[in-house]
Amino acid sequence: MTATAEPRTALPLAMTPDARAAFERTRLSRRGFLKASGALTVGFCCWSAASSVDPVLAQFGVGLTEGSPPADQVDSWISVAADGSVTGYTGKQELGQGIVTAQTQLVAEELCVPFARVTMIAADTAKTPDEGYTSGSQSHPTNFNHANLAQAAATARQALIQLASQHLGVPTAQLTARDGAIFVASNPAKKISYGELVGGKKFSLALDSSAPRKPYSEWTILGKPIPRIDIPALATGTFEFVHNVKVPGMLHGKVVRPPVVGATVNRVDESSVAGMPGLVKVVVKRNFVGVVAEKPWQAIQIANKLKVDWTSGAGLPKQADYYDYLRKQSPSRDAFLINSGAVDQTLASAATVLKATYLHPFQMHGSMGSSCAVADVANGKATIWSATQGVWQQRGSAAILLGMNPEDVHVIFVRGSGCYGHNGADTVSYDAALLSQAVGKPVRVQLSRKDEMAWENYGNSYVLDCRAGLDAKGNIIVWDHETWSPVLGNRPGAERPGNVITGFLAGFEPEPFHAQSPPSQPRGFNNGSNAIPSYVAGCVDDRCGGAGSIRSERVLTHNVVSPFWTGPLRSPSRLQNTFAHESFMDEIAAHIKTDPVALRLKYLTNQRVAGVLQAAAHAFGWDARPSPKWQRAEGVVAGRGVSCVAYEGANGYSAMVIEAEADTNSGVVAVKRIVVAVDCGPISNPDGLRNQSEGGALQGVSRALGEDVTWDDHKVTSVDWRSYHSLPLGFAIPQIEVVLVNNPGERADGAGELAITLSAGALGNAIFDATGVRIREIPFTPDRLKAAFQTASTKARA
Amino acid sequence: MAAITLKVNGSTHTIDLDPTTPLLYALSDDLALRGPKFGCGLGQCGACTVIINGEAIRSCITPVQTVAGAEITTLEGIGTPEKPHPLQKAFIEEQAAQCGFCLNAVIMTAKAFLDKNPKPTDAELQQALSNVLCRCFTHVRMYRAIQRASKEMAR
């Protein structure tokens, strides 16, 4: 947690002997399990081969975890009760994106039962199949295609028809499933209900990859704007968040974080809080400090009063120079994602070379409710009620943290405040677990606002250099993209509790930083979180995975060690890269005095990106012309900007047009109108998709206009809603129109991170269109814009 | 510690706690209410909002001793899933939620405001919500829901 010239050696990374032993034990037990569970392993192999799991999805953890229901069995996903009610089990949980309602629709549709008869249970290490993290716009592709939940439901329907055929003595071809029963098509009076067929019994059946999915043309539940099942409880205050979990005998914990980055404990003076009301215990484990009390307010008061002598920390790099520092930092991990060769020569031969550098700050998840968890660690077992995005991963990493076997840890997902990625949910779960273990009783911990904001795993800061070469006719002949981004920690996975602050303080290492220089060469096409611009061919070896036609192409990325914890924040790296690509494409269009939509279409070969781009432009009423509108603008001026993306190259397509006003005197930007077109294949719930797109677009505007993590020489200073600037409900909200492009013949793609990826680029382009001034640094604060407008105005006069 | 009497949603409760405890902890911990929530503990986001004497109050920074005996209304006190308040009904009809953690903030702030200003302009409503956060940015739907409810409430 330092940022000296030698970050790897400056990090106090040594594992404690206890930590090392716990780590080793967990690994041994895992190997031992796999060795001893031949039958399950064989089952997994067979299912895996038969159902042809998409290798891209496999990395998101659809697989086998000891103790979790096996993913190859229908019973792990679907159960039918005697009364005909259906329970679906899923590893993809509700974070506020509407996925549980959509999955309820999916199960109801495939099984042919009424929506109201289906209940979903999501993300519980003891009850649901291991589907890895709920993240990265992966729930729709994972569960709505030809595997997992959808295929389990399709297999179950097929099995029910076969059972009914035997029962009724009628061939399956003459049977139809409807309303939770199987009917004889020619004689609907002859029927048998699901409850009668399998109620309360097991299917005892493997997922069948050949079981037919219900065709889109027959959908009556999926694809409809069915209202979210959770909103009535949310609106009336009856919904149980993780913050509301109460366990008998539960105590309350409060953590005491270091005052500055890198500080370690010299001494904890327990006598400073002796005799305070409600005190149960002061807990110290290496640099992890916390208190447990009977009531939450008592815990807070005790923690505030506890005297801890900390070391002074190692200091932070100056924020004012941080982007330069980032670019020069060593060691670094360098990788070519694409390198067509001779890029420098092509640039040298180009008639014109355009260059621009874009800057993106660290941003935070900044959940509205600070993170909370309850843990009960006693008698060799642990139960954690957690809003984590990955219950299975947390089970493994919490086991290491606690020195237990993963089999003895049960993680139950309970919804938290919207997380937008890897927020404080894991770290607070560790806090609760460590404190509970120390007192042998259940403990609830909710972080303070400052503890949430000062120590979360921030979304990455970026420096992005763009270069393009044009020929004499203005054709783009070469595109070169180079980025620098700092990393430290990440999601903890099943083995790295040190990837978040609590695990680190308790003595565990974050993922080691592996330097790589000279850069590694591409091995197969990898979109690299949209590091690949949409306009290049993306050719590696024989495969071209890009969305565009430019053949001279190079993408080089550098990672360095971050002074702060980092981790996925909604559209991680994809947003930052897309901001750069889409701003730069606009700069090229302006240089050659071409309409920005037309120029994009000229270089896009992927018809789905082109399709959403045209749909958004059409819905907006795009006036084809070059930007800017005026060369010298003064006062309040309006403009429009566009951006588009193939999310991660092939997981959803979106385009956005923003109309905005900029005041060149004050630097204030007002977003007036947003049109966003989305294509995520077949639409499972159109209103849910609209809701996600509207929210994503506006969250993207907030991140573009105001949000950045700030720090001084020793600590983060953006630690509340006065110092970290999220647009409140009271800001002048733009009109938002969502254009849904339904593509039922395509694969179900992601949707949650489409719109947010585009806002910064579209907004920057709108500001340029309005004012003729290009802002290349996020956030677009009034001070930054005012200074840029003044500089431009002075230059114009000179 | 002291015995404090709180009148919440029409019921009277006597709780033994430190009188400096913020009201929010008494409501969410001692009374196990789920409407008011801890968001920031600084009175900046609105998650903890309750209504006392017609005013939207941030319970995370209101010592419990200062509201002993006052009529306190929480989100669960204005309606139920079966009989929702017009605002709650409008939020359900407009599907004005993503994670839903901020609904207490938005609905309770809007209720206290609409009770005094039944026919607000957009600008007045914007002013009333100027210190309320929704980090999922469900803003468009929430305004639509509030405007819808205000029409029904004015009837």
CB contact under 8 A, A243 and B126: no
Give the closest of A232, A244, A701 to B92, CB-based.
Answer: A232
CB contact under 8 A, B25 and A295: yes
User: What is the residue-averaged pLDDT of chain B?
Assistant: 97
CB contact under 8 A, A234 and B34: no
- Mention every residue, 6+ apart, whose C-beta is less than 8 A from residue B29: A252, A295, A296
ω before A628 within 30° of 0 (cis)?
A: yes
- CATH topology classification for B2-77: Ubiquitin-like (UB roll) (3.10.20)
Phi and psi dihedrals of A179, rounded to 5?
55, 40
Q: State the nearest Cα–Cα gap between A611 and chain B, in angstroms.
A: 26
CB contact under 8 A, B139 and A729: yes
* Chain B contact for A243 (CB, 8 A cutoff): yes
- Mention every residue, 6+ apart, whose C-beta is less than 8 A from residue A83: A195, A199
Residue A169 Rama label (left phi>0; alpha psi -120 to 50; beta): left
Give the closest of B22, B47, B130 to A728, CB-based.
Answer: B130
Q: Indicate if the alpha-carbon torsion angle A262, A267, A272, A273 is positive or negative.
A: positive
Q: Which of the residues A367, A368, A451, A738 would you substitute to probe the B interface, choosing the one with the greatest number of B C-beta atoms within 10 Å?
A: A368
Residues of B in contact with A254 (CB under 8 A): none
Parts of chain A with a pLDDT under 50: 1-64
Q: Tell me the average pLDDT across B11-40.
A: 97
Angle between helices B86-93 and B103-116 (to 10 degrees): 130
Cβ burial of A328 (10 Å; 0-12, 13-18, 19+) is exposed
Which helix (H) or strand (E) segment holds residue B140: the answer is: helix B139-154
CB contact under 8 A, A277 and B18: yes
Nearest-angstrom CA–CA distance, B128 and B113? 7
* Chain B contact for A304 (CB, 8 A cutoff): no
Cβ(A232)–Cβ(B81) under 8 Å?
yes
Q: Tell me the average pLDDT across B52-66.
A: 97
Task: Give the CA distances from residue A179 to residues A111, A160, A284, A320, A378, in Å, rounded to whole numbers and listed in that order.
Answer: 9, 13, 58, 64, 46
Residue A730 Rama label (left phi>0; alpha psi -120 to 50; beta): alpha
CB contact under 8 A, B42 and A694: no
* Chain B contact for A371 (CB, 8 A cutoff): no
ipTM of the complex: 0.99
Nearest CA in chain A to B28: A244
- What single DSSP character describes residue A536? B
pLDDT of residue A35: 32
CATH class assigned to B79-154: mainly alpha
Phi and psi dihedrals of A488, rounded to 5?
-160, 125
pLDDT of residue A175: 98
Both structure tokens of A580:
């750069």
CB contact under 8 A, A699 and B101: no
Nearest CA in chain B to A231: B92
Q: State the nearest Cα–Cα gap between B13 and chain A, in angstroms.
A: 18
Nearest-angstrom CA–CA distance, A137 and A647? 9
Cβ burial of A49 (10 Å; 0-12, 13-18, 19+) is exposed
Q: Indicate if the alpha-carbon torsion angle B148, B151, B153, B155 is positive or negative.
A: negative
Burial A389-415 (b: 16+ CB within 10 A, else e): bbbbbbbbbbbbbbebbbebbbbbbbb
Give the closest of B88, B96, B142 to A236, CB-based.
Answer: B88
Cβ burial of A14 (10 Å; 0-12, 13-18, 19+) is exposed
Nearest CA in chain A to B40: A449
**Residues 705 to 734 of A: which have CB under 8 A from any B CB?**
720-722, 726-733
Give the closest of B104, B129, B139 to A698, CB-based.
Answer: B139
Q: A98, A243, A11: which is closest to A690 by C-alpha?
A: A98
Q: State the nearest Cα–Cα gap between B107 and chain A, in angstroms.
A: 8
Residues of A in contact with B22 (CB under 8 A): 297
- Mention every residue, 6+ apart, whose C-beta is less than 8 A from residue A158: A208, A211, A212
Nearest-angstrom CA–CA distance, B138 and B100? 9
Domains of chain A, first to last: 44-236 (3.30.365.10), 571-798 (3.30.365.10)
Q: Indicate if the alpha-carbon torsion angle B102, B103, B105, B106 is positive or negative.
A: positive
Q: Apex CA A443: angle with CA A442 and CA A446, to 5°?
A: 150
**How far is C-alpha A127 from the geometric centre of its chain's CA atoms?**
24
Through-space distance between the first and last CA atoms of chain A, rounded to whole angstroms? 47
Q: DSSP letters of A630-699?
A: -SS--SEEEEEEEEEEEGGGTS-EEEEEEEEEEETTT--EEEEEEEEEEE-SS-S-HHHHHHHHHHHHHH
CB contact under 8 A, B33 and A246: no
**Residues 142 to 201 of A: which have CB under 8 A from any B CB?**
none
pLDDT of residue A66: 56
Give all strands of the β-sheet with A288-293 in edge-to-edge order.
Answer: A279-285, A288-293, A251-255, A443-446, A372-378, A381-386, A409-413
- Relative to beta strand B71-73, strand B2-8 is parallel
The answer to whether B2-77 and B79-154 have equal CATH topology is no
Phi and psi dihedrals of A155, rounded to 5?
-65, -40
Give the closest of A691, A697, A699 to B141, CB-based.
Answer: A691
Residues of A in contact with B21 (CB under 8 A): 295, 297
What does the domain layout of chain B look like in residue ranges?
2-77, 79-154
Nearest-angstrom CA–CA distance, A289 and A306? 10
Both structure tokens of A438:
């120390």
**Residues 64 to 103 of A: which have CB under 8 A from any B CB?**
95-98
Q: A669, A493, A532, A443: which is closest to A26 by C-alpha?
A: A493
